[in-house]
């Protein structure tokens, strides 16, 4: 790895949107740190894909919702690389269920990973970025944060919380040259959407004016732009990429 490469950390980078973001940032010249929670094999595949794209990457396993693990991971990152230019808070889970049947532990776990995890990682990343007086944080929220969705109360709440967190951090960190933005993807082709039944897929497509699911690379391209020099005057924004299903 060239020492003059900027560092980018992508949480939940082992598959889906996270993997596409890792590859796109590696292609853009960043040395990408691929975070994963448990699937090291998938993280290794992402690293290989980054290298095949002409970039460089490494993987790092830690639970974003665990304060001690996050602190340790960022301490190791600082020792190894010294700085961090980009943080993409992409790690997320969905514990779906109707409100009246929802279990406490499913609510807690969803909020811990999706919202607390972004807070913990952003707090540590900001410490590094403030010293450099430069950096970009991108939070991957969801279109359902803006429009709601039956049976997804914890997921919607956690992703809506990310929007509030984004705007608050953007105001706090702007004076230090750090931009903070959120992206709200709609239905994107991932393992999660592939698992849906055909009838449900058809039903979702009816709600999308463009008539198709989005591709992970389309989200990744937006992340890349928000982390680039061309987006230094953009902060505190929530940008939808949903085929028009929410306007």
Distance between CA atoms of residues 215 and 161, nearest Å: 25
Q: Does the active-site annotation cover 155? A: yes
Instruction: Give the active site residue among 36, 59, 155, 233.
Output: 155
User: Are the C-beta atoms of residues 40 and 15 closer than 8 Å to each other?
Assistant: no
Give the distance from CA 113 to its chain's centroid. Answer: 11
Distance between CA atoms of residues 19 and 10, nearest Å: 9
User: Are the C-beta atoms of residues 6 and 29 closer than 8 Å to each other?
Assistant: yes
Q: Which phi and psi (to 5°) does residue 8 adopt?
A: -135, 130
Question: For the stretch 65-91, what's the b/e string if a residue is b when 16 or more beta carbons lie within 10 angstroms of its beta carbon?
Answer: bbeeebeebbeebbeebeebbbbbbbb
Measure the CA angle with vertex 97, ends 111 and 154; round to 5°: 20
Q: Report the candidate in 244, 166, 184, 232 with the shortest Cα–Cα distance to residue 208.
A: 244
Distance between CA atoms of residues 58 and 9, nearest Å: 10
> Which residues are known catalytic residues?
155
């Amino acid at each position: 790895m060239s020492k003059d490469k900027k560092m980018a950390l992508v949480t939940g980078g082992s598959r889906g949107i996270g993997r596409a973001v890792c590859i796109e940032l590696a292609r853009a010249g960043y040395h990408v740190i691929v975070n994963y929670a448990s699937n090291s094999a998938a993280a290794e595949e992402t690293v290989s894909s980054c290298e095949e794209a002409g970039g460089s990457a490494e993987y790092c396993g830690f639970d974003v919702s665990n304060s001690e693990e996050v602190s340790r991971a960022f301490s190791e990152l600082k020792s190894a690389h010294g700085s961090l230019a980009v943080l993409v808070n992409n790690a997320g889970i969905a514990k779906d269920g109707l409100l009246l049947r929802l279990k406490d532990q499913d609510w807690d776990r969803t909020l811990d990973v999706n919202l607390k995890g972004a807070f913990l990682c952003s707090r540590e990343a900001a410490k590094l970025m403030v010293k450099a007086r430069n950096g970009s944080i991108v939070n991957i929220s969801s279109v359902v944060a803006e429009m709601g969705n039956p049976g997804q109360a914890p997921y919607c709440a956690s992703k809506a919380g990310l929007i509030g967190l984004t705007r608050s951090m953007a105001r706090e960190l702007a004076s230090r040259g750090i931009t903070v933005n959120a992206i709200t993807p709609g239905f994107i082709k991932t393992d999660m959407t592939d698992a849906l039944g055909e009838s449900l897929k058809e039903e979702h497509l009816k709600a999308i004016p463009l008539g198709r699911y989005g591709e992970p690379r389309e989200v990744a391209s937006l992340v890349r732009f928000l982390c680039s020099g061309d987006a230094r005057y953009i902060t505190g924004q929530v940008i939808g990429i949903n085929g028009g299903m929410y306007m």
